[in-house]
Amino acid sequence: MKIIIHVVLVAVIALLAYLLWDSIMQPIRFQKKAEWRYGLTVQKLKDIRDAQVAYKSVYGAYTGSFDSLENFVQNGQLKIVKAIGNIPDSFYDKYPRKLAETKAIEAGIVKRDTVTVNCYDSLCKGKYNVAELRMVPIVNIPFEMASDTIETSSKAKISVFEAKTPNDVYLKGLDRQEIVNMNDEAKTIGKYPGLKVGSLVEFNNNAGNWE
């Protein structure tokens, strides 16, 4: 009987030790997985921003449609200014980088030319599948995206866009209580409980809320 009781006690102690260890490790495991998804999601939002900026340079406004944005990245064209020629090292010794190029152009050493390039080559270059630009990594749920036009105090019309995904989406499947804690913390300080880039209420603000 004593042996049985001893075995049971050892088993209970081992179980309690495991539960204690697991409770300590759970936030650590969540943090590692959350940081991994965070990095993937931020990169995708940066890709969306780059595509939107290029889209606006061609059409004069942002788009709220992923169909339009993805088609533009896949099939559109961009005009970019390309420097032809090399700036001598002596110019960099005399001037700051930007001024060195200007001086080289004035001297006729470097010329600027406008060339047309494919959006796909310029923006994507195989970094991602264009058809998945709209999808939040891992969970494969679309980002929320919208565009609008807002009026400044001087009555100027400014095109704006916003792309975002809440913590509940990009962290879907991870520890629920940890996600709730993140949401509560964000709401307490008046921040969006998730990741987003751009703004529908602030003009000239294409920053991500992680920056």
Structure confidence at residue 89 as a pLDDT band (50, 70, 90):
confident
Which position has the higher pLDDT, 169 or 120?
169
With a cut of 70, say whether residue 11 has pLDDT above it. Answer: no
Quote the pLDDT of residue 128: 85
Query: What is the chain's mean pLDDT, rounded?
Result: 86
Q: Which two tokens stand for residue 5?
A: 């009781």
- Type of residue numbered 146: A
Domain coordinates of the chain in residue numbers? 31-73+125-198, 75-123
Q: Closest Cα to residue 198, out of 189, 207, 190? A: 207
Which position has the higher pLDDT, 102 or 43?
43
With a cut of 80, say whether residue 16 has pLDDT above it. Answer: no
pTM given for the model: 0.77
With a cut of 70, say whether residue 106 has pLDDT above it. Answer: yes
Q: Closest Cα to residue 54, out of 80, 17, 34? A: 80
Alpha-carbon gap, residue 85 to 87, rounded angstroms: 7
Quote the pLDDT of residue 196: 97
Radius of gyration of the chain (CA): 26
Tell me the residue ranges of DSSP E strands in 40-178: 77-84, 111-118, 144-151, 157-166
Task: Answer yes or no: are the C-beta atoms of 157 and 149 closer than 8 Å.
Answer: yes
Structure confidence at residue 110 as a pLDDT band (50, 70, 90):
confident
Task: Answer yes or no: are the C-beta atoms of 197 and 163 closer than 8 Å.
Answer: yes
Q: pLDDT by residue (tens digit) across 140-172?
A: 999 999 999 998 888 889 999 999 999 999 999
Q: Which two tokens stand for residue 63?
A: 């788009």
Quote the pLDDT of residue 90: 82
Q: pLDDT by residue (tens digit) across 47-60?
A: 999 999 999 999 99
